[in-house]
Amino acid sequence: MKITFLGAACEVTGSCYLLEADGVRFLVDCGMFQGGREAREKNRQAFAFDPATIDFVLLSHAHIDHSGLLPRLVAMGFRGAIHTTRATCDLLAVMLPDAGHIQEREAESANYRRFHAKKKAPRHDIAPLYTVEQARTSLKSLEPADYDQEITPHPAVRCVFRDAGHILGSAIVEIWLGEGARRRKLVFSGDLGQPARPLVRDPTPIHDADLLVVESTYGNRLHKSMDETEDELVRVVNDTLFKRGGNLIVPAFAVGRTQDMLYLLADLTRRGRIPKLTVFVDSPMATAATEITYKHMALLDEETHALMGEHGGMANFQKLAFVGDAEESKALDRLAGGAVIISASGMCDAGRIKYHLRANLPRQDATLLITGFQAAGTLGRRLVDGAKRIRMMGGDVPVKAALVTLGGLSAHADRDALLNWLGHFRAPPKQVFVVHGEAETALGFAALIHERLGWQTEAPRAGQSVELP
């Protein structure tokens, strides 16, 4: 029995783990690397295995850094099933074709630049990583499952998805391999959510495992409390919209963070902490994801049911508009002020948010509100790190807008929440691997687990294989 760490090993993105045991080969996640040129090159490299030899995939959730290479996997010969939760299947039907569209646009732009470059460009065009059509084809491989439903993706494998409390449909993956004395239980945490956060339920406690693979995105820090987060959001809204008269620009992941922001703004208005606001959600994918969220209301927490009701909380906004048309999106950049614009992508590297940044970053009355993790190499990370000027969309953009990081909204568990989740295990897993964290964070969290819990823990490197006893 062997596990190979093909992504999210001493880095945050590209989650992918290859399991081989008793004649079966399968993947847990097949995610895209994110964060600049190096990440793009990794995505284009051939898989470290023949996709045709993979029997099936178990997918923890829909975020692109966990699912984004599935279309490429299918296009290169994978013919098995992709097992995941029903809500994740619905989200992927929107997210993967959108990712394909981005790949097509990026390839088109790259080829245009090469054609017009002064130096002679190679004759062959750059092909997209995968196309919209290939993304749609990959959706045919999806096999939906409910939370807590046991499935048998292979005669030698049993699996159950438990609620991870991260985003809609996110799952902790429990896997049983072998029988009798050779039976082993493997647990992949996926991305764990922070307890007591809006919309989703708290992560499911797990009590035992022979092998545990746990994320560590925020394994070296603590999030602000929800009370502190709400206080800061109130200050930002009042300062930007009503004192300085500017726009509040919110790069937000279309799945999860956009819905969190809508919930918080509606709830703060309901409680009289802010006036009713004019809010634009400028992301077709976020609009679709919000509709899917309403479809799966049964998976959300009780507070969300009470606030959103059958009208989705619309009564708590001066105006709530979901922008679909590209011309309507462009018109938002002519707004003088007084609007909240929520747009994807959450790390500012693609999508309509780039146009809103170009229009508002040079304005001293505007505020850029960062609400989620910004991976190394992304535009969002450069802004958080204090860039005064950025190069984007063929131009040089000065950064004069205020920048505020709203740390308490993370969909990832922080250090103490991770340790609390680990504390539910009745006995130490025989092997513990810390993944999905930048190198220093993953190594540090592995050391902390050993210090606090006494477990033998390792932060594997990319490409590392480990034999399981």
Query: CB–CB of 440/198 below 8 Å?
Result: no
Domain with CATH 3.60.15.10 in the chain: 2-221+413-467
Helix (H, G, I), strand (E, B) or coil at 120: coil
Q: Which residues pair with 341 in a beta bridge?
A: 249, 280
pLDDT of residue 301: 82
Q: At the topology level of CATH, where does 226-409 sit?
A: Rossmann fold (3.40.50)
CA nearest neighbour of 59 among 253, 201, 190: 190
CB atoms within 10 A of CB 243: 11
Helix (H, G, I), strand (E, B) or coil at 153: strand
pLDDT of residue 394: 78
The full DSSP string for 220-256 is T--PPPHHHHHHHHHHHHIIIIIIS---EEEE--TTT
Six-digit token string for 77 = 């010969």
Q: At the topology level of CATH, where does 2-221+413-467 sit?
A: Metallo-beta-lactamase; Chain A (3.60.15)
- Which helix (H) or strand (E) segment holds residue 288: the answer is helix 284-295
Query: CB–CB of 43/36 below 8 Å?
Result: no
pLDDT of residue 122: 61
d(CA 172, CA 12): 17
The ranges of the chain with pLDDT < 70 are: 118-123, 308-313
Domain with CATH 3.40.50.10890 in the chain: 226-409
pLDDT of residue 310: 46
d(CA 361, CA 375): 20
pLDDT of residue 49: 96
Q: How far is CA 308 from CA 150, 271, 294, 302, 398, in A?
A: 32, 14, 9, 10, 39
- pLDDT tens digits, one per residue of 13-38: 999 999 999 899 999 999 999 887 88
pLDDT of residue 191: 97
The single residue listed with the structure tokens 């309403």 is 294
d(CA 130, CA 69): 9
